[in-house]
Copies of this chain bind each other. A is one copy, B any other.
């Protein structure tokens, strides 16, 4: 039975990505060795790294002012590494608190400078994106979260400001077009739209690095990885290769613009059903709904077990909501086909026939 993968992350990969990854794990390009057995200084991996970077540049229309780095440690490491690298102890950065991940970013950054929380939607369990907030003139950077995976909201407007935006785009990079020049630094754990778990994409405007006085361990200094082109130490070879394959798949399928259209169409199909269906209700402010992660609940919680069983019978996996919100979450990353959303919608309609 075909599976419909709605996991929030690690998440769905395109079929051809999986096939090529599987082949490379056994025998890379017929050379008689697995990609996992090859030196990261050898010509095979150097070519992979180079291609992955140029694909990322192409998809985001990045200028040479930006470096494309493949690090590890996930967004959780970037929460402190951004502030550690960009903010001196007496400087101020602004943060907008739109969910659990923003909160963690704020907590970690506080060790490295003055952190001003400009707005928060914690008053309503993060079911909306704050928009009307003042942005001081003295900020070193403004930290935003592109997409809130847990709560199902997305930042759709990027404020006009005179400092760079630092943005956690773990769950929506490459899913839509972005005005990339507004950003000083974008970071993303790979395991949603980029590739598998085990690599962290960091896109950084080179001229914002090295402007502070703090001593930084070599491995935590962006300057190290810029200078050594993500190969100061052994990078995560296989996860980077799967990232390259995913970038190739995105480009072949029309790039960020086509992904955005494809994702909008899936989101409309699902949100229309959530709004039409008498048994379900969405948890977020309508205009802030994320095309990546749709969060919704059953009005009658007692029907949850029935719904999950029907989903399971239809091959749907990963639909259970995060504990902070409850209910259900359908993650619809780039590689998810419209057909999978239709299957989910049909189950929601079947629920009405049975229990409506």
Chain A residues near B (Cβ < 8 Å):
1-3, 5, 7-13, 18-19, 21-23, 25-27, 31-34, 36-40, 42, 72-77, 79-80, 84, 104, 107-108, 111, 189, 191, 196-199, 215, 217-220, 232-239, 242, 315, 317-318
Contact = CB atoms under 8 A, between A and B. Distances in A.
Nearest to A26: B22
A270 to B, nearest CB: 20
Given A36-B197, A74-B233, A19 B26 contact: yes
B7 A39 contact: yes
7 tightest A-B contacts by CB? A198-B236, A72-B72, A22-B26, A36-B196, A80-B217, A76-B233, A22-B25
A218 B78 CA distance: 11
Contact of A36 (B21, B36, B104): B21
Nearest to A8: B39
B32 A237 contact: no
Contact of A219 (B7, B9, B26, B76): B76
In this complex, which of A11, A104, A217 has the most chain B Cβ atoms within 10 angstroms of its Cβ? A217
A24 to B, nearest CB: 8
15 contacts: A3-B31, A7-B42, A19-B26, A21-B26, A22-B23, A73-B233, A79-B217, A104-B218, A108-B219, A197-B238, A198-B198, A198-B199, A198-B238, A198-B239, A238-B238
B318 A10 contact: no
A317 B79 CA distance: 40
Nearest to A83: B217
A3 B33 contact: yes
Contact of A242 (B22, B36, B189): B36
A340 B72 CA distance: 34
A242 to B, nearest CB: 7
Nearest to A242: B36
Given A26-B19, A36-B13, A80-B219, A72 B236 contact: yes
Given A11-B37, A237-B196, A218 B18 contact: no
Contacts of A80: 217-220
Nearest to A7: B39
B23 A36 contact: no
Nearest to A236: B198
A5 B33 contact: yes
Contacts of A107: 218
Given A32-B315, A75-B233, 4 more contacts: A39-B318, A72-B236, A196-B238, A198-B238
